[in-house]
Amino acid sequence: MLATTKPVSSSSNPPTPPLLPSDSKQSQVISINRRNLLASLSLTLAPFLTLDEFKNHSHYAHARGLFQMPPVRLVNRYYLVRAGESQYEGLGVINTNPVAKTSVDNGLSEKGMKQTMRAALELQSIGACESSCWIWPSITQRAYQTAEIIAAVNGISRSYIVPEYSFLDARGLGAYEGKKLDSVSEVYASDSLSPNIKPPPVSDGTPNESVQDVFVRVTQLMSILETQYSGNTVVIVSPDSDNLSVLQAGMIGLELRRHTDLAFGPGEVRLVDASSIPAYKQPASAVYKCLNPPNCT
C-alpha cells in the first residue's frame, strides 16, 4: 500500500524573514564578509611563504598601491621627453587652452619636426627602446606627433603608444593665454615664491594652474604607470616643460619652487630611473610656506 504524503501546512513553515533595506545590518555583514574574504587571501598565502617573504610581499603590494614623491622605489625606467616646438610656439604665442590641444596649429612646426627627430635618434642611440617600450604622450597634437616619430624611428608598434587624455595637458596659464611666449617668465617669478600661486584666471575656459596643481596631475600619472607596469621602459611625452620639470623635481626631492631649474627645451630627453631617486625624505616643497612674499628664503 502506497504511503500518502501529507501536505505540509503553511503553519509549519518558518516565517520568511522580511527583506532588509540596503543600509541594514545584513548588507553591512555582507560587506564585512567581502573585506574579510580579501584579507583572507593574503593569509592563505602565509603557509607557503617564509616570514620574511610574507613581509616583503605585503610591503611590495603597499608600495605599488600608494605612490609618493619622492618615491621609495621605481619599478620601471622612465624617459621624459618634451615635444618639439609647436606652430603656436614658433609664432611666439602662449596656447594652453585644452580645447585647442588637438588642433593642427598645436602640431609640430618645421623646427619642431627636426627637434623631435633628434630626440627619437637620441633614444635610439642610447637603446632606450631596445627591448621594447611603452610611449605615453599627451593627446595634444605636438606631443602625439612626437610619440609617432619616436615609435617609427625606434621600431615600436603603434599599439605601444598609449594616449594620455588629461594628466599630461600643458600647464594652463590662465590670463596669459594668447600673450607673447616670453611673458611666461612672470609666471615663473611667482612659482619661485610659492608652488601654490596660480596665474590670473580668464573667462575663455583656459585653466590657471599652480605648480602644486601640476604636481598633483603628474603624481597621479606616475601612480598609474607604477601600478600598471613592472620592469618596463616608459617614454613620457609632454607638450610643455612644466609637466616634466615638476615631475622630475618631485622625484628627486627638489623643492617645487625651483622646478624651473630643471626646465626642458623642445625635443629634450632625460632618463629617470631608480638610480636617480634619493633616500626618502619629506620634500621641502610640501612643507615650505612663504609668510612674507616676495621676501622668502
When pLDDT is averaged across residues 74-96 and rounded to a whole number, the result is 96
Q: What is the pLDDT of residue 295?
A: 58
How many alpha carbons fall within 13 Å on the CB side of residue 223? 13
C-alpha separations of 161 from 112, 145, 208, 229, 260 in Å: 20, 11, 29, 14, 28
229 with 76: CB under 8 angstroms? yes
Distance CA 29, CA 64 (A): 29
Set of cell numbers at residue 186: 612672470
- 3-class DSSP state for residue 120? helix
What is the tens place of the pLDDT at every residue in 151-207?
A: 999 999 999 999 999 999 999 999 999 999 999 999 999 999 999 999 999 999 999
Query: To the nearest 10°, the Cα dihedral for 110, 111, 112, 117?
Result: 90
The pLDDT value recorded for residue 292 is 56
Lowest-confidence region among 32-46, 67-81, 272-286:
32-46
Q: Give the pLDDT confidence score for residue 273 in this predicted structure.
A: 78
Burial class (CB in 10 A: 0-12, 13-18, 19+), 293: exposed
Q: Which helix (H) or strand (E) holds 238?
A: strand 233-238
3-state helix, strand, coil in the chain (%, to 5): 45, 10, 45
pTM: 0.74
CB 106 within 8 A of CB 142: yes
Residues in a beta bridge with 235: 79, 135
Cα Rg of the chain, angstroms = 27
**Res. 31: pLDDT tops 90:** no
The whole-number pLDDT of residue 259 equals: 97
Q: How confident is the model at residue 277 (pLDDT cuts 50, 70, 90)?
A: confident
Condensed to tens digits (0 to 9), the pLDDT of residues 232-264 reads 999 999 999 999 999 999 999 999 999 999 999
Is a pLDDT exceeding 50 seen at residue 45?
no
Distance between CA 77 and CA 107 in Å, rounded?
Answer: 28
Identity of the amino acid at 56:
N
pLDDT at position 282 over 60: no
Contact 97, 79 (CB under 8 A): no
pLDDT by residue (tens digit) across 102-140?
998 899 999 999 999 999 999 999 999 998 999 999 999
Give the model's pLDDT for residue 17. 46
Q: What is the pLDDT of residue 274?
A: 73
| 63 three-state secondary structure | helix
pLDDT band at 290 (very low <50, low <70, confident <90, very high): low
Question: What is the mean predicted confidence (pLDDT) over 73-89?
Answer: 96
Residue with cell 594628466: 167
272, 253 in Cβ contact below 8 A? no
Q: What distance in Å separates the CA atoms of residue 91 and residue 104, rounded to the nearest whole number?
A: 14
% residues pLDDT > 90 (the chain): 66
Indicate if the pLDDT at residue 215 is higher than 70. yes
Taking every pair of C-alpha atoms in the chain, what is the biggest distance, in angstroms?
A: 107
Cell 619629506 -> residue: 282
Q: For residue 23, what is the DSSP state?
A: T
